[in-house]
Amino acid sequence: MKVKVRSGDSLWYYSQLFMMPVNLIADANPGINPALLKIGQEINIPGFTLLNYTVKSGDTFWKLSSSRNLSVDALLLVNQSLNPNSLIPGTAIKLPRRVISPIVSGRRNYDYKALTADISMLADIYPFIKVNTIGQSVLGKPIQEIRLGKGNKKVQINASFHANEWITTPILMALLNSYLLSITNVRPIRGVSTMPLYNSVDLSVVPMVNPDGVDLVLNGPPAGVREEVISINRGNTDFTGWKANIRGVDLNNQFPAKWDFEKQRSEQSGPAPRDYLGEAPLTEPEAIAMAELARDNQFDRMLAFHTQGAEFYWGFEGMEPPESEVIAQEFERVSGYRAVQYIDSFAGYKDWFIQDFRMPGFTIELGRGINPLPLSQYDDIYEEVLGIFLASLYM
């Protein structure tokens, strides 16, 4: 929600007027000097939207504000051209509405279009978040990162490396939405106060690493590469088993962490729906984008959401730091998922992250069953992984 500065207004006053932490208002307005507000200047107020309302007979600003738990001046601020003493029935006015419910609707086939629409809505309601493009997919779709928080501890969480594990994307977006609601409404999640987390953690979220693959699984092959992907899929037009990117390269086998060893024993010698490592590490634009993101930011920990198994992996060749075990024990406690230190699988993003940065990295296998997991598991998975999400920030 945007408001225009009046004489005597300040960010602190807006904080009191809308019961919104002043640091969030400041963060929602980068580049604005709070001490030098100018009359008529537009200011973002996070956590609110504006509703159109038609004045009815008997309406007053006092009645409208009290019924919405707002001050009269909040209505005056967003309706500066109106005379508050003579509201005329039929007049269109704006009413501030605090956002208290999620806007992410994840219980659906959540393709790239759904993701970008939700990111746009979140950025509009919560302008203290930053949306960055970290790279592009093979077909040119922007790979988006959502960034928020002011702390020194850098945490990276990603989802949908694998196409038919797309349910991880709406789960991660729902977790982010809950976090944003908690921050702006000063409402704990499972007893955890989130404003201290916002102030101490710089959170990076990449909700869909493999947008081309997700769209392929959910919507079928796009016209430009239809014959090629059907050929890679052995002539089958059912893509529910497809994990790779649109070129048939498994993005979570693209990282230089025992890649040669994994390549030598791989049964896939060419593009395939799953498990093909490519001709070399980091040949695919999606994997390159994730590697560059990690190199540029030097994250303190990383979580990659996959499905399925209700377990998570936290070690790589003994290179993981001692704190990884402590974090793993907490993840296990809050989720009920089984902690597994080592598995006989290499060249993944988690492996490379641990190897190159010697920081805690985790592959979280959400849910149980056969991929793609059904949406009937959505609510259970969300509740299971919510504790891991929070622990990744407060540990």
Candidates 361, 363, 367; CA nearest to 385 is: 367
Annotated catalytic residue, options 165, 284, 286, 365:
365
Specify the length of the chain in residues: 395
Q: Nearest-5° angle of CA 95, CA 97, CA 99?
A: 165
* 365 catalytically annotated: yes
Catalytic residue set: 365
